[in-house]
Chain A
Amino acid sequence: MRPRLSLWSVGLWLLAALLVLFVAGPLVRLLLQASPASLAAALSDREVGAAIWLTVLTASAATLLGLGLGVPLAYLLARGRFPGRRIVAGIVELPVVVPHPVAGIALLLFLGRQSVLGGGLARLGLEVVNHVPGIIAGMLFVSVPLVVSAAREAFRAIDPKLERVARTLGDSGWAAFRRVTLPLAGRGVLAGAVLGWARSVSEFGAIVILTYNPKVASVLIYDRFTLFGLPAAVPAAVLLLLLALAVFLVVQLLAPEPVRR
């Protein structure tokens, strides 16, 4: 005989279902809104195509930069014992709590032509604000916490004695990292990178302040919505959503298998 359903278990399922519906509902609604014809039109719209292409390129650049700078930092945070380690770890996490337009304004002050750094870069021929590097800077800023914390956890899960064994077997610090640590942590680092990439693709608030033009996809969608209204924004929005869903799928496939306890 099946146990009778209690009010508690009914309530539990009901509340859970409500929230899942709230998240899935709008996304499904959006997907249904776009007709195949409008999607085809959006795909052939050169401005939409250029924006999505630009988004993919800049997000990839931001991710590579984030990996190049973030993996060494993550490794130091996981292994090193240095004063202020917790402060450094905290600083890297900060972008998570900073509202994105605020991040954009802070980056603008830091990298704008009037700033020391931005001015210097401009003299070297590297324009940041209102140019592609501004997009990458915004993406890097918001995605770095994801890349670093994923890599840090992946490194932390590897017993340092494995590296010590490799060192006594003749490996330099770099060789041990490349032959032992990275292969073992690679999956976790990669999952963090994909997550950071997705975060970059979805960024709007910081980018819209740093570089309105050339437009990344999120800025273009906002632009069309404010200029021409909802119908003009939907097809591009659907395309971006499909891209995000594809990335999400990759993250799910990369995620480490749950540990059985």
Chain B
Amino acid sequence: MISLRGVGVRVGGFALEDITLEVPAGGYGLVIGPTGSGKTTLLEAIAGHMPLSAGRIALRERDVTTAAPEQRQVGIVYQQYHLFPHLSVGENIGYGIRKEGAGSREQRVRELAALLRLTPLLERGTVGLSGGEQQRVALARALAPRPGILLLDEPFAAVDPATRRELRKELRALHEREGTTTLQVTHDFEDAMRLGDVVAVLADGRIAQAGAPEQVFRYPKSRFVAEFIGTGTILRGSVERTGSVDPATGRFAAVFHADGLSLEVVAEREGGAYAVLRPADLILSKSEAEGPAPRNRFLATITRIERESAIAHVTLNLGKTELLATVMSSTAEELGLRTGATVGVAIKATAVHLI
């Protein structure tokens, strides 16, 4: 368990304030925020590298607010990995378990190397490893002492998208296998959707919103969260191929079936998926027939309108599904949007983001 209660940290002119966050034992928490929002500082505070100006930190039910880093049994993986350049891959992985006997140390290093496909690299130096390899070495090194708690700082930021997908899968598998309570910071909401049990959105050193990922994405509490995450509605469903595969891109035309709604989409693979509908991509009109000609058109009932100065957040009901749309306030006036009214909704096939 990772538990932060009203944590504050001051670094130079920057401050984290009133951070309250809980990741249950064995859970996977994600902190999302833009660059400069204090994500790395938050991890370093949990690891014990930053003194707190306020609040308490408890790890595994034990208060560690004033404990030294080496007493916290926490593993950390930085964005730039920070492998020890004077040690081999194997020595890096075994760094934290030198007090164990040589036999069990060797065994643990081999086990993690096999798990993370590093066995052929064990004798090598760290110079010249690819980004993905360095990442896996850093992960193995952090996990070797069985820390119970793992802190990940933008672990996928420095690798290409293909490696990122693979690492994400490995990380999830590793998390389940080792049962390590994990807190990851990221600016990528896809990480949050695929990995997180708990999500907190960090803005300017404060938590703007926290909760289950679907809740946070579905019901952003503030414009910052809505705009930063920019996801709006997430639908669970499945992809059914309807067109032939474009050999150049590997993509094909398909239909996404969700509960009570089918959307024409452009997909990369069939089967179960999430569809993300960004609020700004939903085009509202007075009736189904009006407006430009995107592929997906349907009618919906307005259940709620929230106005902020220049924009209006509109909640739409499709019977079994709710959608969120964002329109300019002037457009809302023009269309005469009001609660209970029926409107036409359109979205381009290419605007449906499948993950």
A184 contact from B78, B85, B96, Cβ within 8 A: B85
Chain B minimum-CB-distance residue to A173: B68
CA distance A183 to B96 in the complex (A): 17
Tell me, yes or no, whether B95 is within 8 Å of chain A by CB: yes
Tell me, yes or no, whether A171 is within 8 Å of chain B by CB: yes
Give chain B residues whose Cβ lies under 8 Å from the Cβ of A169: 70, 75, 95-96, 141-142, 144-145
Q: Which residues of B contact A (CB under 8 A)?
A: 44, 47-49, 68-70, 72, 74-76, 78, 80, 82, 84-86, 95-96, 99, 141-142, 144-145, 147
Tell me, yes or no, whether A166 is within 8 Å of chain B by CB: yes
B84 contact from A162, A173, A175, Cβ within 8 A: A162
CA distance A124 to B68 in the complex (A): 41
Q: Establish whether residues B76 and A165, one from each chain, have CB atoms under 8 Å apart when the complex forms.
A: yes
Instruction: With both chains docked as a complex, state the minimum distance between the C-beta of B183 and any C-beta of chain A, in angstroms.
Output: 13
> A46-90 toward B: CB 8 Å interface, digit per residue (1/0)?
000000000000000000000000000000000000000000000
Instruction: With both chains docked as a complex, state the minimum distance between the C-beta of B153 and any C-beta of chain A, in angstroms.
Output: 9
> A177-215 toward B: CB 8 Å interface, digit per residue (1/0)?
001100110000000000000000000000000000000
Chain B minimum-CB-distance residue to A176: B70
Which of B49, B68, B72 has the most A CB atoms < 10 Å from its CB? Answer: B49
Give chain A residues whose Cβ lies under 8 Å from the Cβ of B141: 165, 169
Instruction: With both chains docked as a complex, state the minimum distance between the C-beta of B83 and any C-beta of chain A, in angstroms.
Output: 9
Q: Establish whether residues B82 and A170, one from each chain, have CB atoms under 8 Å apart when the complex forms.
A: no
Tell me, yes or no, whether A6 is within 8 Å of chain B by CB: no
Tell me, yes or no, whether A172 is within 8 Å of chain B by CB: yes
Q: Is the interface of B mostly helix, strand, loop or mixed?
A: loop
Instruction: With both chains docked as a complex, state the minimum distance between the C-beta of A187 and any C-beta of chain B, in angstroms.
Output: 11
CA distance A170 to B96 in the complex (A): 6
Give chain A residues whose Cβ lies under 8 Å from the Cβ of B85: 184
CA distance A170 to B47 in the complex (A): 11
Which of A165, A168, A171, A179 has the most B CB atoms < 10 Å from its CB? Answer: A168
Q: Which residues of A contact B (CB under 8 A)?
A: 159, 161-162, 164-173, 175, 179-180, 183-184
Chain A minimum-CB-distance residue to B80: A161
Given A164-B49, A168-B96, A184-B85; 20 other pairs, CB 8 A cutoff: A159-B82, A161-B78, A161-B80, A164-B44, A165-B76, A165-B141, A167-B48, A167-B49, A167-B68, A168-B47, A168-B69, A168-B75, A168-B76, A169-B96, A169-B144, A170-B70, A170-B96, A179-B95, A180-B84, A184-B86
Chain A minimum-CB-distance residue to B144: A169
Give chain A residues whose Cβ lies under 8 Å from the Cβ of B147: 168
Q: Establish whether residues B82 and A162, one from each chain, have CB atoms under 8 Å apart when the complex forms.
A: yes
> For chains A and B in complex, what number of residue pairs have CB atoms within 8 angstroms?
58
Q: A167-B48, A168-B47, A169-B141 are in contact. Are A161 and B68 (CB under 8 A)?
A: no
Q: Establish whether residues A167 and B82, one from each chain, have CB atoms under 8 Å apart when the complex forms.
A: no
26 contacts between A and B (CB under 8 A): A159-B82, A162-B82, A162-B84, A164-B44, A164-B69, A165-B82, A166-B95, A167-B49, A167-B68, A167-B69, A167-B70, A168-B47, A168-B69, A168-B74, A168-B142, A169-B95, A169-B141, A169-B142, A169-B145, A170-B70, A170-B96, A171-B70, A172-B70, A175-B70, A180-B86, A184-B86
CA distance A159 to B83 in the complex (A): 11
B82 contact from A161, A171, A175, Cβ within 8 A: A161
Instruction: With both chains docked as a complex, state the minimum distance between the C-beta of B91 and any C-beta of chain A, in angstroms.
Output: 10
Give chain B residues whose Cβ lies under 8 Å from the Cβ of A164: 44, 47, 49, 69, 76
Instruction: With both chains docked as a complex, state the minimum distance between the C-beta of A135 and any C-beta of chain B, in angstroms.
Output: 37
CA distance A145 to B347 in the complex (A): 70
Give chain A residues whose Cβ lies under 8 Å from the Cβ of B86: 180, 183-184
Instruction: With both chains docked as a complex, state the minimum distance between the C-beta of A189 and any C-beta of chain B, in angstroms.
Output: 14
Give chain A residues whose Cβ lies under 8 Å from the Cβ of B96: 168-170
CA distance A159 to B84 in the complex (A): 10
Q: Establish whether residues A168 and B70, one from each chain, have CB atoms under 8 Å apart when the complex forms.
A: yes
CA distance A81 to B127 in the complex (A): 31
Instruction: With both chains docked as a complex, state the minimum distance between the C-beta of A229 and any C-beta of chain B, in angstroms.
Output: 54
Give chain A residues whose Cβ lies under 8 Å from the Cβ of B145: 169-170
CA distance A171 to B145 in the complex (A): 12
Which of B44, B70, B76, B95 has the most A CB atoms < 10 Å from its CB? Answer: B70
Instruction: With both chains docked as a complex, state the minimum distance between the C-beta of B128 and any C-beta of chain A, in angstroms.
Output: 16
Which of A161, A164, A165, A175 has the most B CB atoms < 10 Å from its CB? Answer: A165
Instruction: With both chains docked as a complex, state the minimum distance between the C-beta of B347 and any C-beta of chain A, in angstroms.
Output: 44
Q: Which 9 A-B pairs have the closest CB atoms?
A: A169-B96, A167-B69, A168-B76, A161-B82, A183-B86, A164-B49, A170-B70, A168-B47, A170-B96
Give chain B residues whose Cβ lies under 8 Å from the Cβ of A168: 47-48, 69-70, 72, 74-76, 96, 142, 147
